[in-house]
């Protein structure tokens, strides 16, 4: 079936102003239709912190069927109608808003989703959420906060605290243990002592969570600027050992925490100096997930198996594993042949490799000369010289009667090295070089 341009997803960046306006409009439309409607969850937390929310969720007493009727002239998508969730698609640049009916959850037999839900009140809906700072509602029309769980208090005091019984909250969705770590690090908050104890006691149960969901949390943690704090806390709580047992990390001293489990910034600074992995992670500047993950795994030998266990994409596995393998390849660039240097600096993952090496050297308080050498080489070497078209290709070897195989590949690599070293400068000299290898003089 042919698709029209309007059928294609809008890939343009979202406009925060349009996002907010549409999120307000969704609330207004529902309220004008006689329903209660409030912003809910993370967007409320971010709004109260003075941050721009990445997305907006709305909670309402309207059922999914009623939501779809209110927005009949707009595209709606059932993303979880059985759980009372409908996505309302906004105008270009405004993104989407998920509208969820206030609900109570039944038991969580799979440790992820409720077995059943019943529609309820805002007060009851707040009680089913994970952390107090994510359990508040906000009316953007009346500029009023509805807080049934003490979220405003914890937000002002700087704590991540589970709503109600922390053990019960973690049992409902075991991923909340990693989310507690991520929120604590990202917000530079403390983890409330009872919540911290529950996570520590239940850490081994994280295996009930799918590898894909764990990997998704790792991506968010490791690309956040406080990634080193998240890793340190995950290690302290026993979660790091469960999801990445191959990584050995020095633990933070319990005595460094205050009476409610909060870490003074001075302690974090000391920790960063003492633990090389944390220091190097902190020193990365806006890294890709693969770069940060490679830094975390740089002392591990079985990187590919870890990536497969977490069901990372092939691209993520390839980049992460290559960075770990090549982490020291440019430590003495002046001692490499031109071919070795050019191959590394022409590689598509080169920038990540240089970033990894810079952070590692800084964490070791070592000389940055290797990185500076490579940067100067790149500045003074044209792309045509760094990575010229091959003088001899596989088709050339086939024309000479060779068949693909180990020797075939070896010969291509050798002639390429000779080219990059400046020993061969034309197709003809390259072919003469190959013929001499194939038919050496007697």
Residues 429 and 332 in one domain: no
In a domain, 357, yes or no: yes
Average pLDDT, integer, range 19-37: 97
Q: Which of 7-21, 66-80, 402-416 has the lowest mean pLDDT?
A: 7-21
Cα–Cα nearest to 159, from 137, 128, 131, 179:
131
Average pLDDT, integer, range 216-223: 98
Residues 26 and 52 in one domain: yes
Mean model confidence pLDDT for the chain: 89
In a domain, 245, yes or no: no
Instruction: Give the pairing type, strands 56-60 and 96-101.
Output: parallel
Residues 148 and 45 in one domain: yes
**Above 80 in pLDDT, residue 280?**
yes
Helix (H, G, I), strand (E, B) or coil at 319: helix
Residues 94 and 152 in one domain: yes
Q: Which of 114-123, 297-306, 430-439 has the lowest mean pLDDT?
A: 114-123
Query: pLDDT band for position 276 (50/70/90)?
Result: confident
**Above 60 in pLDDT, residue 271?**
no
Look at residue 74 in the predicted model and tell me its pLDDT. 86
First to last CA, the chain: 66
**Above 50 in pLDDT, residue 410?**
yes
The span from the CA of 59 to the CA of 302, in Å, is 45
Residues 370 and 429 in one domain: no
CATH of the domain at 101: 3.30.460.10
Between residues 74 and 322, which one has the greater pLDDT? 322
In a domain, 297, yes or no: no
**Cβ atoms within 10 Å, residue 195:** 27
Residues 31 and 127 in one domain: yes
Q: What backbone torsions phi and psi does residue 145 show, to the nearest 5 degrees?
A: -95, 135
Model confidence pLDDT, tens digit, residues 186-214: 999 999 999 999 999 999 999 999 999 99
Query: pLDDT band for position 349 (50/70/90)?
Result: very high
Model confidence pLDDT, tens digit, residues 150-179: 999 999 999 999 999 999 999 999 999 999
Q: Which of 76-85, 198-207, 374-383 has the lowest mean pLDDT?
A: 76-85
Residues 42 and 129 in one domain: yes
In a domain, 422, yes or no: yes
In a domain, 30, yes or no: yes
In a domain, 199, yes or no: no
Number of compact structural domains in the chain: 3
**Above 90 in pLDDT, residue 82?**
no
- pTM value is 0.85
157, 188, 209 — which closes off a domain?
157
Look at residue 111 in the predicted model and tell me its pLDDT. 53
In a domain, 47, yes or no: yes
In a domain, 298, yes or no: no
366, 386, 406 — which closes off a domain?
386
Residues 54 and 126 in one domain: yes
Query: What are the structure tokens assigned to 152, written together?
Result: 């405003």
Domain of 355, in residue numbers: 326-386
Average pLDDT, integer, range 180-186: 97
Residues 427 and 364 in one domain: no
Residues 351 and 406 in one domain: no
- List of residues 6+ apart from 375 with CB closer than 8 A: 354
Residues 365 and 420 in one domain: no
The span from the CA of 332 to the CA of 361, in Å, is 12
- How distant, in Å, are the alpha carbons of 27, 28, 223, 239 from that of 33? 10, 9, 41, 46
**Cβ atoms within 10 Å, residue 207:** 13
Residues 334 and 434 in one domain: no
157, 180, 200 — which closes off a domain?
157
Q: Which of 20-29, 100-109, 181-190, 388-397 has the lowest mean pLDDT?
A: 100-109
């Amino acid at each position: 079936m042919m698709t029209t341009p309007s059928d294609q997803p809008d890939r343009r960046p979202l406009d925060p102003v349009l996002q907010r306006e549409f999120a307000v409009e969704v609330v207004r439309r529902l309220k004008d239709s006689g329903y209660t409607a409030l912003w809910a969850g993370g967007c409320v937390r971010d709004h109260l912190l003075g941050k721009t929310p990445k997305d907006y969720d709305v909670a309402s007493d309207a059922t999914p069927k009623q939501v779809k009727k209110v927005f009949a002239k707009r595209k709606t998508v059932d993303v979880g109608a059985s759980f009372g969730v409908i996505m309302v698609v906004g105008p270009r640049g405004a993104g989407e808003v998920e509208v969820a009916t206030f609900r109570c959850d039944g038991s969580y037999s799979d440790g992820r989703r409720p077995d059943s839900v019943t529609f309820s009140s805002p007060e009851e809906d707040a009680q089913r959420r994970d952390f107090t700072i994510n359990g508040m509602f906000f009316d953007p029309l009346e500029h009023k906060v509805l807080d049934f769980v003490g979220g405003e208090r914890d937000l002002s005091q700087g704590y991540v605290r589970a709503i109600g019984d922390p053990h019960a909250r973690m049992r409902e969705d075991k991923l909340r243990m990693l989310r507690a770590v991520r929120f604590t690090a990202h917000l530079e908050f403390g983890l409330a002592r009872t919540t911290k104890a529950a996570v520590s006691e239940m850490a081994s149960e994280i295996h009930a969570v799918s590898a894909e969901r764990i990997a998704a949390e790792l991506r968010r943690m490791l690309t956040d600027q406080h990634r080193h704090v998240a890793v340190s806390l995950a290690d302290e709580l026993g979660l790091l050992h469960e999801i990445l047992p191959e990584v050995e990390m020095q633990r933070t001293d319990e005595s460094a925490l205050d009476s409610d489990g909060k870490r003074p910034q001075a302690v974090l600074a000391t920790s960063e100096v003492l633990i090389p992995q944390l220091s190097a992670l902190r020193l990365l500047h806006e890294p890709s997930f693969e770069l940060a993950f490679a830094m975390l795994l740089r002392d591990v030998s079985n990187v590919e198996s870890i990536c497969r266990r977490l069901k990372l994409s092939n691209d993520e596995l390839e980049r992460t594993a290559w960075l770990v393998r090549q982490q020291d390849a440019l430590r003495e660039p002046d001692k490499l042949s031109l071919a070795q240097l050019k191959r590394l600096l022409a590689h598509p993952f080169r920038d990540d490799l240089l970033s990894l090496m810079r952070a590692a050297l800084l964490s070791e308080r070592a000389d940055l000369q290797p990185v500076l050498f490579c940067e100067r080489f790149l500045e003074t070497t044209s792309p045509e010289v760094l990575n010229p078209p091959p003088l001899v290709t596989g088709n050339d070897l086939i024309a000479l009667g060779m068949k693909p195989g180990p020797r075939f590949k070896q010969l291509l690599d050798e002639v390429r090295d000779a080219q990059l070293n400046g020993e061969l400068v034309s197709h003809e000299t390259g072919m003469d070089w190959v013929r001499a290898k194939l038919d050496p003089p007697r």
